[in-house]
Amino acid sequence: MSHGSRTFQGVVALDGPSGTGKSSAARLLARRLGSRYLDTGAMYRAATVAALHADVDLTDADAIGRTVAGADIRISTDPEPAKVWLDGVDVSREIRSAEVTQAVSAVAAVQAVRTQMVAQQRELIGAGGIVVEGRDIASTVWPQAEPKVYLTASPQARAQRRAGETGQHADEVARSLHRRDHLDSSRSASPLRRADGAIELDTTELTLDEVVHALAALVDELE
């Protein structure tokens, strides 16, 4: 597949908190561009599964770091379906469990884990032709990405979207999102923030198609 008459060779960075439509938009944009797709959050979730399977104390950063260092985490870069493996086992479903969602911020805050994941992510991005989504792509993983986009949405919209995906009550989801936002934005290692030069896109009132259209237009402007 190609974008226009040429194959897309760039790197699109999509950052932002949960519930902004980031994953859905990133996958659809990658399909539209005929490019690869990388869900960096899935890698941190796989690392969290490794820590949970090892029954590691989630307050022990050294133990988490050692456990994840010994884990073999692989991820596909196909937009559909994106899969992730831990030590050769497909954990694509397990990483979306409530237990993993509750624990992932603690694991992702560990500097040794971030160093390992970022190195692997940079290797996967390689020569480009990829849409990458996460929380620190433009600020840490690939600052030279163009375009760099930071997705936002109102707390209510984010909670409703995530509740629709998980089947949980919106109030419960809102509390969970608020907690994770605080943990992700206050950590010392690559905190969640809008990177310098990133374009902020508020998705509160936008449909998924409108978000993808806006992102594709930003890519078109660069070509």
Q: List the domain boundaries for the chain.
A: 11-222
What was the pLDDT predicted at 153?
92
List, in order, residues 6 or more apart from 27 with CB less than 8 Å away.
Answer: 37, 79, 80, 82, 131
Q: What is the mean pLDDT of the chain?
A: 91
Higher pLDDT, 109 or 167: 109
Global pTM reads: 0.90
Mean pLDDT of 203-212: 95
- Looking at the predicted structure, is the pLDDT value of residue 159 above 90? no
Mean pLDDT of 37-43: 97
Mean pLDDT of 199-222: 95
End-to-end CA distance of the chain: give it in Å, rounded.
17
- Looking at the predicted structure, is the pLDDT value of residue 162 above 60? yes
Higher pLDDT, 71 or 21: 71
- Looking at the predicted structure, is the pLDDT value of residue 4 above 60? no
Mean pLDDT of 139-148: 96
Mean pLDDT of 59-86: 95
Higher pLDDT, 56 or 1: 56
Residue 172: other Cβ atoms inside 10 A: 13
Cα–Cα distance for residue pair 220/164, rounded to 1 Å: 32
Of the listed ranges 50-54, 96-100, 167-171, the one predicted with least confidence = 167-171
What was the pLDDT predicted at 147?
96
What was the pLDDT predicted at 5?
42
Grade residue 27 by pLDDT with cuts at 50, 70 and 90.
very high
Pairing of strands 11-15, 130-134: parallel
Cα–Cα distance for residue pair 64/58, rounded to 1 Å: 7
What was the pLDDT predicted at 6?
56
Mean pLDDT of 1-30: 84
Judge: domain 11-222, CATH 3.40.50.300. yes
Contact 39, 94 (CB under 8 A): no
Of the listed ranges 42-46, 49-53, 192-196, the one predicted with least confidence = 192-196
Cα–Cα distance for residue pair 206/202, rounded to 1 Å: 8
Strand partners, 134: 15
- Looking at the predicted structure, is the pLDDT value of residue 223 above 80? no
What was the pLDDT predicted at 140?
95
